[in-house]
């Protein structure tokens, strides 16, 4: 792994300010320095996901809080000193309830439960990565995490890295990770091609980040969401515009 890529970076290294709110809604997945694509570009960017992915598009029910680069399943950030500042109102999000163990007997929506599931799975897979220096690569089939009530959260929170280590070997999972670029990216746009000319093409994105001249922002790369959380986008795309100092994450479901 190159020192120009950091997996599971810390919130303080990803977000410029208001760490508390960024921590409430986002999951930092990967930081990348653009020198890996262009040696003359010493710029850190970040791929982040969101905790409330579950059913439908994130932000689709909050159009009044959309901005030019934050819409349904699309999140815009101002890039400031190599870190991100979310460019929309926090009311864009619908879930932020942290469920504590003593509150398991209360009633919660499926979205609220999944918000907590995504946080818990992220932390578990982060611990696995930090211990083994690789993404989780085994068979993760666990029926107990697929029930429709809060028991799935309780069961997930009881899991440890040692439990993951005992999971069955998966040839599919191993081969899938071996195909990744730098062990994490599904695609890294080292040729600086327009996104529509790349392998994945972003064909299923419902929103794309267009600049004022109706051209798309530069496409940096994409990666699979399920390596990092429970409910996830199939792919997270990173776009960037140097002049606007904007980075945009788009979620794709295939």
Beta bridge partner(s), residue 46:
31
pTM of the model: 0.96
Q: Are 159 and 165 in contact (CB under 8 A)?
A: no
Q: Could you list the residue range(s) of the whole structural domain that residue 206 is in? A: 5-252
**pLDDT per position in the chain (254 positions), as tens?**
589 999 999 999 999 999 999 999 999 999 999 999 999 999 999 999 999 999 999 999 999 999 999 999 999 999 999 999 999 999 999 999 999 999 999 999 999 999 999 999 999 999 999 999 999 999 989 999 999 899 999 999 999 999 999 999 999 999 999 999 998 999 999 999 999 999 999 999 999 999 988 999 999 999 999 999 999 999 999 999 999 999 999 999 98
Residues 6 or more apart whose Cβ sits within 8 Å of residue 174? 137
Number of residues in the chain:
254
- SS3 sequence of 35-88: HHCCCCCCCEEEEEEECCCCCCCCCCCCHHHCCCCCECCEEEEEEECCEEEECC
How far apart, in Å, are the Cα atoms of 205 and each of 17, 73, 189, 191, 237?
A: 29, 8, 17, 21, 9
Q: Which two tokens stand for residue 249?
A: 């994450």
Helix or strand holding residue 151 (H, E): helix 151-158
C-alpha 29/C-alpha 177 separation (Å) is 16
The total number of structural domains in the chain stands at 1
> Which three-class secondary structure state does DSSP give residue 23?
helix
Per-residue model confidence (pLDDT) at position 148? 86
Under 8 Å between Cβ of 246 and 217: yes
């Amino acid at each position: 792994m190159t020192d120009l890529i950091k997996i599971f970076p810390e919130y303080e290294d990803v977000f410029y300010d208001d760490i508390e709110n960024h921590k409430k809604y986002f999951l930092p997945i990967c930081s990348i320095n653009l020198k890996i694509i262009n040696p003359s570009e010493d710029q850190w960017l970040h791929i982040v996901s969101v905790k409330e992915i579950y059913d439908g598009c994130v932000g689709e029910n909050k159009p009044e809080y959309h901005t030019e680069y934050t819409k349904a399943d699309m999140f815009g950030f101002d890039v400031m000193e190599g870190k991100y500042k979310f460019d929309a109102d926090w009311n864009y999000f619908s879930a932020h309830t942290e469920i504590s163990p003593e509150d398991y007997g209360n009633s919660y929506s499926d979205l609220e439960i999944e918000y907590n599931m995504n946080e818990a799975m992220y932390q578990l897979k982060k611990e696995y990565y930090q211990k083994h220096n690789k993404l989780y690569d085994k068979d993760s089939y666990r029926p107990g995490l697929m029930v429709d009530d809060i028991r799935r959260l309780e069961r997930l929170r009881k899991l440890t890295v040692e439990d993951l280590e005992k999971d069955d070997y998966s040839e599919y999972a191993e081969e899938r990770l071996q195909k990744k670029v730098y062990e994490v990216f599904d695609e890294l746009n080292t040729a600086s091609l327009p996104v529509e000319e790349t392998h994945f093409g972003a064909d299923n994105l419902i929103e794309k980040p267009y600049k004022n001249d109706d051209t798309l922002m530069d496409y940096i790369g994409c990666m699979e969401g399920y390596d990092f959380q429970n409910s996830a986008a199939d792919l997270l795309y990173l776009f960037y515009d140097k002049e606007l100092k904007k980075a945009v994450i788009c979620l794709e479901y295939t």
